[in-house]
């Protein structure tokens, strides 16, 4: 196995990281069966993530607020908790949160629809969030729209599943012009393919894009995270972020904070393949309850763009 892994690494080019990825807010994350995606407010004082049940049929957005260096208790945000909500993202001023949801379009029905991008807003950083608002056409369609990511100038990057194209999920771009969003365009084949591309994080200045790809030839298995740079208005060939981030399990939902720390979700599993003899119940439960146990967990790693 080690020899095969070495051969794979010599065949494909990965970026290198000087540090290993580490669990993020470990004790809070372990309170929930699965935790996926993360957003941190521009001032660094609020964290949002999606908490889900084991089967992924319930999804609710959770908020944690900081008081200096102390994290508060996790709470369900005011605009979530009833419908299937996930993938929050703060605007650059912290006054809006965009997210994906299957909630009904109006209060007269409880029938959920496909995924749309919604948002809430507030007047100041201390104000309460508004009622949820559907972003509407041309971004939202009869297909599923997911994982909004907003640059500092308001441009929107998101995932759409359009079966009419006879492709899998793709990354789209919609420019923010005169207070509204333009008709979304499919990012070029440098980024997209006939397979799955999803969960794109756009840099605040749109200089790079980190996103998920499923089962590519240069992947480590399942879903991997890749980075592409925008040079002379052209997206470069994506680079696999390598084995200090990606595993042979699902690695997805990237987010980079204003300090260039990369956060992501992984289902990596450090459980031993062979168990020792005469294992006690406590030892078995310690294996089951370790952080990297195959459940969706949050991790972080410094992102040094000079390493690319």
- pLDDT band at 4; cut points 50, 70, 90: very low
Tell me the percentage of the chain whose pLDDT exceeds 70.
95
Calculate Rg over the CA atoms of the chain.
20
Answer yes or no: are the C-beta atoms of 212 and 199 closer than 8 Å. Answer: yes
Domain ranges of the chain: 22-307
Homologous superfamily of 22-307 in CATH? TolB, C-terminal domain (2.120.10.30)
Answer yes or no: are the C-beta atoms of 170 and 186 closer than 8 Å. Answer: yes
* Predicted pLDDT of residue 192: 96
Answer yes or no: are the C-beta atoms of 132 and 120 closer than 8 Å. Answer: yes
Q: Over range 259-267, report the average pLDDT.
A: 97
- pLDDT band at 12; cut points 50, 70, 90: very low
Question: Above 60 in pLDDT, residue 10?
Answer: no
In whole angstroms, give the CA distance from residue 262 to residue 304: 9
Question: Above 60 in pLDDT, residue 3?
Answer: no
Q: pTM for this structure? A: 0.91
CB hemisphere CA count around 249 (13 angstroms) = 14
Answer yes or no: are the C-beta atoms of 139 and 126 closer than 8 Å. Answer: no
Mean pLDDT estimate for the chain: 91
């Amino acid at each position: 196995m080690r020899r095969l892994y070495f051969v794979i690494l010599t065949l494909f080019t990965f970026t290198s990281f000087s540090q290993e990825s580490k669990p993020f807010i470990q004790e809070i994350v372990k309170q929930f069966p699965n935790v996926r995606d993360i957003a941190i407010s521009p001032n660094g004082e609020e964290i949002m993530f999606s908490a889900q049940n084991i089967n992924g049929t319930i999804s609710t957005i959770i908020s944690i607020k900081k008081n200096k260096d102390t994290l508060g208790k996790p709470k369900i945000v005011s605009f979530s908790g009833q419908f299937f909500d996930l993938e929050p993202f703060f605007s650059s001023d912290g006054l809006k949160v965009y997210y994906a949801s299957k909630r009904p379009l109006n209060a007269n029905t409880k029938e959920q629809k496909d995924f749309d991008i919604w948002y809430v807003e507030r007047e100041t950083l201390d104000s309460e969030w508004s009622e949820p608002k559907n972003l509407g056409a041309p971004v939202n369609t009869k297909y599923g729209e997911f994982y909004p990511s907003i640059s500092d100038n308001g441009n929107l990057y998101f995932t759409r599943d359009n079966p009419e194209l006879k492709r899998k999920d793709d990354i789209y771009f919609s420019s923010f012009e005169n207070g509204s969003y333009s008709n979304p365009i499919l990012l070029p084949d440098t980024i997209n393919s006939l397979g799955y591309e999803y969960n794109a994080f756009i840099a605040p200045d749109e200089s790079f894009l980190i996103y998920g790809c499923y089962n590519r030839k240069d992947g480590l298995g399942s879903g991997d995270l890749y980075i592409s740079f925008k040079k002379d208005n052209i997206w470069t060939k994506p680079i696999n972020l390598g084995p200090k981030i990606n595993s042979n399990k699902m690695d997805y939902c990237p987010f980079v904070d204003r300090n260039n720390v990369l956060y992501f979700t992984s289902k990596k599993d450090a459980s031993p393949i062979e168990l020792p003899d005469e294992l006690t119940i406590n030892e078995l439960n310690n294996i089951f309850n370790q952080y990297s146990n195959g459940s969706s967990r949050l991790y972080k790693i410094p992102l040094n763009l000079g390493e690319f």
